[in-house]
A and B are shown apart, each in its own frame.
Chain A
Amino acid sequence: DAGITQSPRHKVTETGTPVTLRCHQTENHRYMYWYRQDPGHGLRLIHYSYGVKDTDKGEVSDGYSVSRSKTEDFLLTLESATSSQTSVYFCAISDSQGRTEAFFGQGTRLTVV
């Protein structure tokens, strides 16, 4: 299995609080992604990174920010959580932009109350 770890695995937070999710990889892959998964929507890309300090927005980036200060870590931050951000969040890694297999973490279930 690819070395990719998400933390925490579950979190309940209150509306308006900041939340940071962490993705850690041991594969030295260049590309890292954050997705959210919601019923009826499949996977939607939030942000992705193509190198240290190099990030870009996905299709649902509003309300989210990311940082990648090291190859192995990709952080997703909800600056002020809202109930619409209740979801399952997946981190993925790949060593090329889409042409090869993407490896996924186990997911983080976030509930905003």
Chain B
Amino acid sequence: GNSVTQMEGPVTLSEEAFLTINCTYTATGYPSLFWYVQYPGEGLQLLLKATKADDKGSNKGFEATYRKETTSFHLEKGSVQVSDSAVYFCALTPSNYQLIWGAGTKLIIKP
């Protein structure tokens, strides 16, 4: 079946540290992959996406590359800020289906 596995949190980093949040998936067909972010007290919002293998999605300094050979879509940022503290969700959509969500990873950035 289709599923998304994210690294468990919380992930705690100091400001300006390098961030990686791992996401792997299983899916039939050729899914699109997404990262969503949820700030405290808010709904989710799209952070970045990739629709085919080797595509790189990027936004606000975050990047993720669609790796079909390793079925991964890891989220990275070179230098995190306190304002990046949030919960990050990896998600995929198999062909013609709804979003399948990971469990979310809480990120805490300390000044």
Contact = CB atoms under 8 A, between A and B. Distances in A.
Interface of A: 33, 40-45, 48, 58, 90, 92, 97-99, 101-107
B44 A90 contact: yes
Interface residue range, chain B: 20 to 34
Nearest to A99: B32
Contacts of B97: 97-98
A104 B98 contact: no
B43 A104 contact: yes
B101 A43 contact: yes
B98 A97 contact: yes
30 contacts: A33-B98, A40-B103, A41-B103, A42-B101, A42-B103, A42-B104, A43-B44, A43-B89, A44-B101, A48-B98, A90-B43, A90-B44, A92-B44, A97-B96, A97-B97, A97-B98, A98-B32, A98-B94, A98-B97, A98-B98, A99-B32, A99-B51, A101-B46, A102-B99, A103-B45, A104-B44, A106-B41, A106-B42, A107-B42, A107-B43
Contacts of B51: 99
A45 B97 CA distance: 12
Interface of B: 32, 41-46, 49, 51, 89, 93-94, 96-99, 101-104
Contacts of A90: 43-44
